[in-house]
Amino acid sequence: MRWLFLAPLLLFAIVAGYFAVGLTRDPGTLPSALLDKPAPDFALPPLLPNKPGLASADLKGAPVLVNVWASWCVPCRAEHPVLTRLAREVPVFGFNYKDKPEDARRFLVELGDPYRRIGTDPSGRVGIDWGVYGVPETYVVDAEGRIRHRHVGPLTDRVVAETIRPLMKSLAR
């Protein structure tokens, strides 16, 4: 019976162990498995009738940003103005993740559409290949279609100025 009183302590020790290891990880970084590797093979159907969808082949040719978003995601709204400004400088492709197409279209009608292409992944299946952890996420993909950087969470002017823009400039050369 006495050992039962140890159970809370043991449970806490396990959780605390996870916390300790978790602290050494940054949930905002890409698992090294995908970094500098070609983006996974995929083809997503278009969201809008007058805008093409998104497939692996579209990522080759010039460096681009792939922005994973959903209409139900609050931080996506927060990053939207930043993304809109950024889309004037570099091509931004949209990856609409686990969303209802009609909700996603409303989101774009309401806030504006910064994307050159939008692929829609209602089931989240392609998102698993990409290792999407939570929306929003933004991937920097180079001209050969390799993932060079991943940002988890909303883009801010600071992230753009300090990370995204310099990286895109160096890739454009």
Partner 1 sequence: MIAELGQFALALALIVAVAQSIVPLVGAARGDAALTAFARPAAYVQLAAVAAAFIALTHAYVTSDFSVVSVARNTHTSMPFLYRLTGVWGNHEGSMLLWILILAIMSAAVASFGANLPDGLRARVLAVQGMIGVAFLTFILFTSNPFTRQFPAPLDGRELNPLLQDPGLAFHPPWLYLGYVGFSVAFSFAVAALIEGKVDPAWARWVRPWTLFAWLSLTIGIALGSWWAYYELGWGGWWFWDPVENASFMPWLIGAALLHSAVVVEKRDALKSWTILLALIAFSFSLIGTFLVRSGVLTSVHAFAVDPARGVFILMILFAAIGGSLALYAWRAPALKAGGLFQPLSREGALVLNNLLLATGAATVLLGTLYPLFLDVLDAGKVSVGPPYFNSTFVPLMVPLVAAMAVGPLLSWKRADIAGAISRLAVAGIATVAVIGIVLYASGGTGFLAAVGLGLAAWLFIGTLIELAERLRLFRAPLAESFERWRHLPRSALGMSVAHGGLAIAIAGMTASSLFQAEQILAMRAGEVVTMRGYDLRFEGIVQANGPNYQAERARFIVTSGGKPVTVLTPERRFYPVQRQQTTEAAIHTTGLADLYVVVGDSDGKGAWTVRLYHNPLVPWIWAGCLIMALGGGLSLTDRRLRVGAPKQRLQAAE
Interface residues toward partner 1, by CB under 8 A: 1-2, 5-6, 8-9, 12-13, 15-16, 18-23, 25-28, 31, 74-75, 78, 80-82, 106, 109-112, 128, 131-134, 152-153, 157
Residues 72, 69: Cα–Cα separation, whole Å: 9
Name the residue nearer to partner 1 (CB basis): 41 or 129. Answer: 129
Name the residue nearer to partner 1 (CB basis): 88 or 173. Answer: 88
The total of other beta-carbon atoms located within 10 Å of residue 141's CB is 24
Give the H/E segment covering residue 15: helix 7-24
Q: How far is the CB of 103 from partner 1 (least distance, A)?
A: 9
CA 25 to chain centre: 18
Amino acid code (one letter) for 9: L
Give the CA dihedral 72, 76, 78, 84, nearest 10 degrees.
Answer: -130
Q: How far is the CB of 57 from partner 1 (least distance, A)?
A: 26
Name the residue nearer to partner 1 (CB basis): 80 or 146. Answer: 80
Residues 99, 83: Cα–Cα separation, whole Å: 19
Q: How far is the CB of 41 from partner 1 (least distance, A)?
A: 19
Name the residue nearer to partner 1 (CB basis): 78 or 167. Answer: 78
Residues 82, 99: Cα–Cα separation, whole Å: 21
Q: How far is the CB of 146 from partner 1 (least distance, A)?
A: 20
Name the residue nearer to partner 1 (CB basis): 1 or 49. Answer: 1
CA 73 to chain centre: 12
Q: How far is the CB of 89 from partner 1 (least distance, A)?
A: 16
